[in-house]
Structure 1
Amino acid sequence: MRKPAEPHIRDRRRTKPSLRKGRLLHVRSGLSAEKTLFVRVAIVAVLLMLVVAVFWFDRDGLKDQIDGTVTFPDILYFAMITVTTVGYGDIVPVSHTARLIDAFAVTPIRIFIWFIFLGTAYELVVQRIVEDFRLSRIQKQLNGHIVLCGFGHSGFIAAQETLAKGHPGDRIVVIDESEDRMHLAAEAGLIGLLGDATSEETLVKACVGQAKAVIVSTGRDDTTILVVLTVRHLSTAAKIVASIKQEENIKLANLSGANLVVSPPKIGGYLMADAVETRHATPFLCDLMSAGGRMVLSERRAEPGEIGRTMAEVPAGIVVQVHSHGRDIAFTERDRYVIQPNDLLLIICQPPPAR
């Protein structure tokens, strides 16, 4: 199994769920950390050789304060202390040409080498320490949160709707292998974890064991089922909602441990078929499913004042279905069925007022 990518944690600033225009290009380097370090060491070595060559060909403009003779070891020594800005003063440029070379040729090389040193130290040491610290701090606060595996188009809409339903962004963890998608997640106010959702290590970092729910929308049925299996292995309590494209894979997702399987092509087919014969049914259903619609479809426990009443007598909205002790009470029973304690009501009502 390949090693999962290192986590990339977003800046935890509060932002609106809408996306802002950010950096245009996000490119993941194809080099490993070892190869990156080797390439940068090679660049530094070439630059040092260039400085040595420049000083050697202009050695007549240098003066050795000790013995008056400038040898190749002296040039090598002078190049090293010049690039590192140490400068003991035992060898100095005395001619105008040597001073101009030092000012306009060696100084830019010196600055560039220091940028390489500082950038490498940040990428390979400091950044990892900072991200590990931030990840540890975030993990301590994660409990009863939502994990979203896959941040494609469906995952992004799911995240937007989750935010619109009142879930805070710092309690939604997004896992994806795309850096630009992680940038979008961060801009939407979510916690982004760059990595492979099928990896147990990545899911542990997302604290799946303490999660309230896991939404799996990877775009591939085989990957989704593998993620569901891994999540269920790590958590028996988390509710798993999986997006499956092919109908024959729905059963596999259920057997893998998914609590609920959603098939976007199937739902889309229903809506398009209704749109052929009706004009307003499809827009109404889409409005009903959206958190920002004029009416919302919610699921909740029966309140004390509703127990003992029929479905039609509930004043808070239109009860379209009741789930009672393992059976579903259809809308056709609304005038006969009496609501019992612990019944789950599926009710169409007005959305709560905006905060």
Structure 2
Amino acid sequence: MPRSIERIFIATFLFFLSIIGGTIGYVVIEGYGIVDAAYMAVITFSTVGFTEVNPLSDIGKIFTTGYIVVNLAIFAYSVSVVSSFLFEGELQKIFKNLKSSREVKKLNQHVIVCGFGKNGAQACEELYAENRPFVVVERDPEVIKSFSNERNYMFINGNATMDEVLEEAGIVRASTVITALPNDADNVFITLTARGMNQGIRVIAKASEANSETKLYRAGAEHVVMPDRLGGIHMANLVTKPVVIEFLELLNGVGEEKLMLEEVPYSRMKDEFHDLSLKDLNIRQRTGVTVIAFKDDVQGFIFNPHSDKIVSEGDTMIILGRYDQIHNFLDIYLKH
């Protein structure tokens, strides 16, 4: 339960508990009827200062004094809760969370990103750039609050290791889980949980320690990424293969001439282009992009495919080109 809603329930519970306790107290101590006792409890709680129903006994006065002190504390707490809703945007946050929950329920074949740290935030940027639907599960509300959500990311504030939180994120309908929590044990647990709740889901996990990689694969992760290892390899390759790294940076959008890689499944291509050879498709001449590889169900990856290669059922083309060339290819060859 969100902390703000929990505080409202506590304040409401304390209010009714106080009224009931005061009513019982006046019935037992002063012998009032239920209506008179409830009336006395309400005017005492509200501190409006009306006259007592009947003159109080000494014990009744002592009870009322203690009752007023307790109610002042309850009243102060209730005022702080209401003030936070009115002046600190808590009510707006609740409506935003409700709206986000409704939007998440509409998602299908989406990506769940667990953890909005450096790696999780970077993954979200890439998913956003590629227009892939995703939802972020982040445990720390301050992390969510500090993020300038101009892109309208869908956040769920909760612990991703808990089944109910993953259910709220639509784990059953999701296609992929990216678990990028700082603790490897948590990533292993999420992998196990996600695989148990959705057998067909794809799990991509982050690992910080080398011995966690095997555990994550055993838990059911399809891919394990170790950012520290990749960073070290990248720095070494800047020395040993600087031109290769320069080319790879172009693929990552670094540099003046930004290049893109795109995968194109056979099923997304227009029917008129099915079962044709690369020569007949004439992709390079029509769009400027280059088909650098194929992946099929029989041979796996085929790099630098021959022009006689037939694009058939189950194939996936990997193409390379500038942003405008890629989008030109998509407009010409893909279904809309």
TM-score, L = length of structure 2: 0.64
Structure 1 match to 2:234: 271
SS at match of 2:172: helix
Counterpart in 2 of 1:137?
A: 102
Q: State how 1:25-36 maps to structure 2 within 5 Å.
A: none
Q: Which residue of 2 aligns with 1:260?
A: 223
Query: Deviation of residue 249 (structure 1)?
Result: 3.1
Partner of 2:309: 338
* Distance in 2, Cα, partners of 1:290 & 1:242: 24
1:323 and 2:284 aligned: no
Q: How far did residue 165 of structure 1 move?
A: 1.3
Q: Kindly indicate which of the two structures has a greater share of residues assigned to helix.
A: 2
State the SS of the aligned residue for 2:318: strand
Instruction: Report Cα offsets for 1:290-312 as digits up to 9, x if no partner.
Output: 59971111111144537312699
Letter paired with 1:351: Y
C-alpha distance in 2, partners of 1:275/1:112? 64
What's 2:320 paired with? Answer: 348
Percent identical residues: 23
1:242 and 1:262 in contact (8 A); partners too: yes
In structure 2, how many angstroms separate the alpha carbons of the residues matched to 1:112 and 1:204?
39
Look up the equivalent residue of 1:147 and give its one-letter code: I
Contact map agreement 1:299 1:345 (CA 8 A) in 2? yes
1:177 matched to 2:148? The reply is: no
Could you tell me how far apart the structure 2 residues matched to 1:268 and 1:311 are? 42
Give distance in 1, aligned partners of 2:280 and 2:251.
20
1:244-295 alpha-carbon deviations (Å, 9 max, x no partner): 2334433332232222222323322332222003444324313313599711
For residues 326 and 338 of structure 1, what CA distance do their matches in structure 2 show?
13
Query: Are residues 129 and 286 of structure 1, via their aligned partners in 2, closer, same or farther at CA, if it must alter by over 3 Å?
Result: closer
Matched residue pairs, number?
A: 268
Give the Å deviation of 1:324. Answer: 0.7
Residue 262 and residue 291 in structure 1: after superposition, are their counterparts in 2 closer, same or farther (change >3 A)? farther
Q: 2:278 aligns to what? A: 309
Q: Structure 1 residues 139 and 272, CA, compared in 2 at 3 Å: closer, same or farther?
A: closer
Quick check: 1:88 aligned with 2:88?
no
Separation in structure 1 between the aligned mates of residue 263 and residue 101 of structure 2, nearest angstrom: 35
Kindly provide the amino acid, as one letter, of the partner of residue 157 in structure 1: Q
Displacement of 1:351 after TM fit? 2.1
**Cα distance in 1, alignment partners of residues 281 and 319 from structure 2:** 11
Shift of 1:142: 2.6
Displacement after TM superposition at 1:151 (Å) = 0.8
Q: Which residue of 1 aligns with 2:78?
A: 117
Q: Aligned residue for 1:190?
A: 153
1:161 to 103, 126, 129: 126
> Is this contact kept in 2: 1:221–1:249, CA < 8 A?
yes
| Residue deviations 1:222-259 (CA, integer Å, cap 9, x gap) | 22111111011111232222222334433332232222
The gaps in structure 1 that reach 5 residues or longer are 1-5, 9-28, 46-76, 91-109
- Cα distance change, pair 326–150 in 1 and its aligned pair in 2 (3 A): farther
RMSD: 4.4
Unaligned runs of 5+ in 2: 19-38, 53-70, 328-336
Q: TM-score, normalised by structure 1?
A: 0.61
Bigger mean CA offset, 322-331 vs 152-161: 322-331
Q: Separation in 2 of the partners of 1:327 and 1:263?
A: 29
* Aligned ranges 1:215-234 → 2 under 5 Å: 215-234=178-197
Q: Relative to structure 1, is the Cα distance of residues 130 and 205 closer, same or farther in structure 2, using a 3 angstrom cutoff?
A: same
CA contact (8 A) 1:172 1:191 kept: yes
1:10-38 CA deviation, whole Å, 9 max, x = no partner? xxxxxxxxxxxxxxxxxxx9xxx69x959
Q: Which whole-Å CA distance do the structure 2 matches of 1:193 and 1:7 have between them? A: 10
> Would you say the 8 A contact 2:110–2:174 is kept in 1?
yes
Equivalent position of 1:242 in the other structure: 205
**SS of alignment partner, residue 145 of structure 2:** helix
Specify the SS of the correspondent of 1:222: helix
Change (3 A) 1:319 1:220: farther
Give 1:217's aligned amino acid: A
C-alpha distance in 2 between matches for 1:158 and 1:233:
24
Between stretches 224-233 and 179-188, larger displacement belongs to: 179-188
The 3 A distance-change label for structure 1 pair 290 and 158 is: farther
Amino acid at match of 1:308: S
For the 8 Å contact 2:136–2:156, the answer to whether it is kept is yes
SS of residue paired to 2:116: coil
Q: Which has the higher contact order (CA 8 A, sep 6+)?
A: 1
For residues 166 and 251 of structure 1, what CA distance do their matches in structure 2 show? 32
